[in-house]
Structure 1
Amino acid sequence: MYRKLLLGAVIFSGVAYLFALAGENMTLRWIFKPGTIVLMIVLAATIRNIAKPYKYLIITGLFLSAIGDCFLLLTGKQWFTYGLVAFLFAHLAYVAAFVTRWRFSPFHLIALIPIAAYSFLLLSRLRTGILAGGNTELWLPVLVYVVVISIMIWSAVISRRWIAAAGAILFFMSDSLLAWNMFVMSLSWSGYGVMISYYLAQFLLTASIERSNRSAIAYDNYNSSI
């Protein structure tokens, strides 16, 4: 019952942030933007009888994301950079979580092709926009960030947790839209697109904790039978 209440609270908080964004209410934005992620942390903490390293690393990623959300609510290049760094470490935490569930096969190398192609095309446009806008100091952090989140997606694919892979891809889509709006072309609807895809991504990563446990049990049972 309490899990359903928490799920309802997450949905309410996420929708409330969208309304706060539309109303340009900074007080409510400060409450609901990181607050939605905090509720997801609480939801993740309620999941029992699971592989603890995976759970704790996902929660770490969520916590770092909440910190990044706070930085991005502030104005100024330095705060954007701090937010970028916070999310960078969040992605590294997610990579570490997926590594605990890696089941690599040569077939997974094929997944690198679309990931690398998309990242290259995105970076080429972002570089042009960043340099043209006089934000040269941001190019290296953005480059490193895109490389790390690309690795995060590939790690999720190798973990064979498709709910986690979907979350990782949505995360990249959210960040791509955010960066595109900042450095390439202003889009009036980008704020809503960024946050909807972001919250969906984080929710799927949170939900992958439970799914990873079920998959791990099935995989262990299979190994014990051969």
Structure 2
Amino acid sequence: MLSDRRHATADLPFLLGLAAFLVGHLCYLVGFLRHGVHPPFLLAGLLIVGGTAGLALPRVLGSVRARRDGTLFAAVAGYAAVVGVMAIAAVGTGAILTAAGGLLFLGSDTALARDRFVAPVARGPLLVIVSYHLGQLLIVLGLLR
């Protein structure tokens, strides 16, 4: 029981950050939908994101499940679903910069998840922060065009 409580306390800052980014992804998703999405581009996004998820998610979710923390597992799985839908919608806009930004954001989160839950990623923190900021920039530039 004490170890469960220690894990919950240690994961609380991570879960709060996850919740904040989840809200941001939902805002981006609404923005992409208001901008307009197109079926052929949505299909392309689905194929790209589905392939990425198929490669990365089983190991990440398997590692999270091994912690036997249902709250953390649900949070990570739910977040992965939302960031995936956001990236699909970013590609769905048909705006190259927005699509690239959404995919970079997905890549940043994927690298972060692998680094945190599976195994250290070479230059992980640098990879995460650079792809995150570049993704943000490209999303905004793409939507402003």
* TM-score greater than 0.5 by the shorter chain: yes
Match of 2:98 in 1: 164
TM-score, normalised to structure 1, is 0.56
Q: Which amino acid letter does the alignment assign opposite residue 168 of structure 1? A: G
* CA-to-aligned-CA distance 1:48-85 (integer Å, 9 cap, x gap): xxxxxxxxxxxxxxxxxxxxxxxxxxx93111001101
* Equivalent of 2:31 in 88, 92, 97: 97
Residues 82-101 of structure 1, C-alpha deviation per residue, up to 9 Å, x if partnerless? 11011011001001001112
Aligned twin of 2:21: 87
- Give the deviation of 1:111 after TM superposition: 3.3
Identify if the C-alpha distance between structure 1 residues 135 and 188 changes in structure 2 by more than 3 Å, giving closer, same or farther: farther
* Higher relative contact order (CA closer than 8 Å, sequence separation 6+): 2
**Counterpart residue identity of residue 96, structure 2:** W
User: TM-score under structure 2 normalisation?
Assistant: 0.84
> 2:110 maps to which residue?
176
What are the residue-to-residue correspondences of 1:1-226 with 2, within 5 Å?
Answer: 76-106=10-40, 108-211=42-145
8 Å contact kept, 2:98–2:142: yes
For residues 34 and 96 of structure 2, the distance between their equivalents in structure 1, rounded to whole angstroms, comes to: 15
Structure 2: which amino acid aligns with 1:100? R
> Aligned to 2:35, what secondary structure does the other structure show?
coil
Query: Unaligned stretches of 5+ in structure 1?
Result: 1-74, 212-226
Runs (5+) with no aligned partner, structure 2: 1-8
Structure 2: distance between partners of 1:170 and 1:163? 10
Higher mean C-alpha deviation, range 179-188 or range 193-202: 179-188
- Cα RMSD after superposing both structures: 1.9
Contact 1:133–1:183 (Cα < 8 Å) also in 2: no
- How far, CA to CA, are the matches of 1:198 and 1:185 in structure 2? 20
Aligned length: 137
